[in-house]
Amino acid sequence: MKFTQLSGSNSKFSPVIQGENSCCCPAQGISTPDTSTGTENNAPYITGYKETVAGSIPRVSTELSLRDKWEHVKARISSFRMSFSVIPGIYAAGDPGENSDVFVTSNYKMSFDKLRVSLNGMDAWILVLDTAGINVWCAAGKGTFGTVELLRRLALSGLLKIVSHRKIIMPQLGAPGIDSGEVRRKSGFRVLFGPVRAEDIGKYIQNGFKADAEMREIKFGFMDRLILTPIEFYMILPKLTYFVLFFLIIFGLNPQGIFFRDAWFNGYLFLAGGLLSVLSGAFLTPVLLPFIPFRAFSVKGWIMGVVLFISIAYFTEIPETQSIFLSAAEFILFPLISSYLALQFTGATTFTSLSGVKKELKYSLPVYIAGTIISFGCLILYKISEWGII
């Protein structure tokens, strides 16, 4: 599936924001990055300094080190992303001069790394905005990658003294946050919107600073979706503890007390179903996203949960003596868990917009609440019937 975003200062597109996926760092009010705390330990991508009329500018490597690559992995699978940032300011790639191009990015380090690697073999300036450690696309939707911060950073960097031209190249995904007309009126710099992908920058420059249709197109393919699933699991893991605890209490509870042996013997299928619903919503739905019918993520996740539940029921020997109340609780609860987790993936995709997600939440949350209450009621009836009360 493909998604095309329009660029320009009047673009109304806004990405969906997931607060848990953003990482914050203190705002900096400095003209150039301060690496005095130790280049080797804290900023290994700094290889030296470029002397300019505005002072010493840190020079960055345009190749990723093993440490950089390992940090990318950690940002994909853990809370390390919450502090994965660089200090805002101006940097030099190669040996830029007064006529060299200026590229703008966020201070989320993965965005910064993508840009500096794409400038390998070029001489260019990199202007890093303070986006609180959030990537360009999400920061543009939040307003931190915006006109005010760009104007502030242009003034602090001394870029007027460093370059003789008045042109800056913005990432296309930052377009929703930038008013190019206001930037030009207040700073004198003309804003150009580059390609969607940083790796197309070389081709973009060869084309005379023009992006063709392919450069303007976002492709959210299989690998793009797959690489985002580990962080979904990471966010769910702490909550699984509560699910397992709930499982032990419900299925181990007897009039005489709680017996963990009974919990496992009576409820192992319930536990397996819960874990598989997590797999359905956090992995299978994102990976198979374009192939699951309907547009709403909540519906896609519910369909995937139902399909998985029916498949397990068909291929697994579920005891014929299993309570109808327990079966009803499972059939209601597990697809809803899958649906809810699939809905969380909206913040990582190009398939929807902020207004679309708000509308989807408006209709899906009451269903989640009602379904959870009904399934809990079924579990209570299951325990009562198990004890022979009804």
Backbone phi, psi, residue 313, to 5°: -65, -35
Predicted structure pTM score:
0.66
With a cut of 70, say whether residue 319 has pLDDT above it.
Answer: no
Name residues whose C-beta falls within 8 Å of residue 344's C-beta, 6 or more positions apart in sequence.
Answer: 18, 232, 235, 281, 282
Token pair of 187 as six digits: 């700073």
Question: CA-CA distance, 187 to 183, in Å (whole number)?
Answer: 6
With a cut of 80, say whether residue 262 has pLDDT above it.
Answer: no
Q: Return the pLDDT at 161.
A: 92
One-letter amino acid at 379 equals L
Question: CA-CA distance, 363 to 366, in Å (whole number)?
Answer: 6
Q: Return the pLDDT at 362.
A: 85
What is the chain's mean pLDDT, rounded? 80
3-state SS assignment for residue 99: coil
Question: CA-CA distance, 82 to 337, in Å (whole number)?
Answer: 26
> What's the average model confidence in pLDDT over 243-268?
76
With a cut of 90, say whether residue 79 has pLDDT above it.
Answer: no
Q: Return the pLDDT at 154.
A: 93
> What's the average model confidence in pLDDT over 112-130?
94
Q: Return the pLDDT at 41.
A: 40
pLDDT tens digit string along 156-196?
999 999 999 999 999 988 888 899 999 999 999 999 998 88
Cβ neighbour number for residue 13 with a 10 Å cutoff: 17
> What's the average model confidence in pLDDT over 55-81?
87
Q: Return the pLDDT at 275.
A: 87
Distance of CA 11 to the CA centre of its chain: 21
Token pair of 259 as six digits: 């017996």
Backbone phi, psi, residue 284, to 5°: -65, -45
Q: Say if residues 279 and 290 touch (Cβ distance below 8 Å).
A: no
Domains of the chain: 2-218 (3.40.50.11600), 224-386 (no CATH)
The span from the first CA to the last CA of the chain, in angstroms, equals: 53
